[in-house]
Amino acid sequence: MTLISLAACSTAPQRIEVTSKPIQKPELILPGVDEVTMRKIEWIIITEENMEEEIAKWTAGGKPLAVFAITAQGYENLGQNFSDVRALVQQQQQIILAYENYYKAANTVLDDAEISRQQEEAKDAAEAAQGNTSLVDRLNPFND
């Protein structure tokens, strides 16, 4: 009776093996950004003193004349608007850079975790191949 009790206690519990399979990480695909090439703009300031001369210059040869005018405040607002657009573009560039850094760091962490998992799996397989058995298992006459 004692022998049966000892034999029952000495059997190793069934080993549960958990494996994982690496997942494919989605790639962040961002469209390319067009380069902006600014076109030349010619500004002519028309004052009371040069108005007739400028009109004569621009209408020479039968060309139609159109005048676009902007107030001093409007010109200041135009400059501030361009400044705001420039600041927005810089903010967007920083956001894109933050996403890029995030994905690079996430990929590094995931790759390191996968390497660690593979190393642990290889270590476990090597230990299992060596046939590490306990003293009780070796002394148990009922084991094959």
Q: Which of these, 40, 43, 44, lies nearest to 53 by C-alpha position?
A: 44
Q: What is the pLDDT of residues 77-111, one digit of tens each?
A: 999 999 999 999 999 999 989 988 998 888 888 88
- Tens digit of pLDDT for each residue in 39-86? 998 888 889 999 999 889 888 888 888 888 899 999 999 999 999 999
Domain of 117 in residue numbering reads as 72-144
Within-domain flag for 133:
yes
Position 134 pLDDT exceeds 70: no
- Nearest residue to 52 (alpha-carbon basis) of 67, 72, 73: 67
* 6 vs 20, more confident: 20
Give the total number of structural domains in the chain: 1
Q: What is the dihedral of CA 62, 67, 68, 73, to 10 degrees?
A: 150
Give tens-digit pLDDT for 29-48.
Answer: 777 878 888 899 888 888 99
Q: Is the pLDDT of residue 12 over 60?
A: yes
Q: What is the DSSP letter of 62?
A: S
Report if residue 129 sits inside a domain. Answer: yes
Does this model's pTM top 0.85? My answer is no
Q: How far apart are CA 104 and CA 99, in angstroms?
A: 9
47 falls within a domain: no
Q: CA angle, corner 136, sides to 130 and 139, nearest 5?
A: 90
CA-to-CA distance for 133 and 21, rounded, in angstroms?
Answer: 28
**Position 55 in a domain:** no
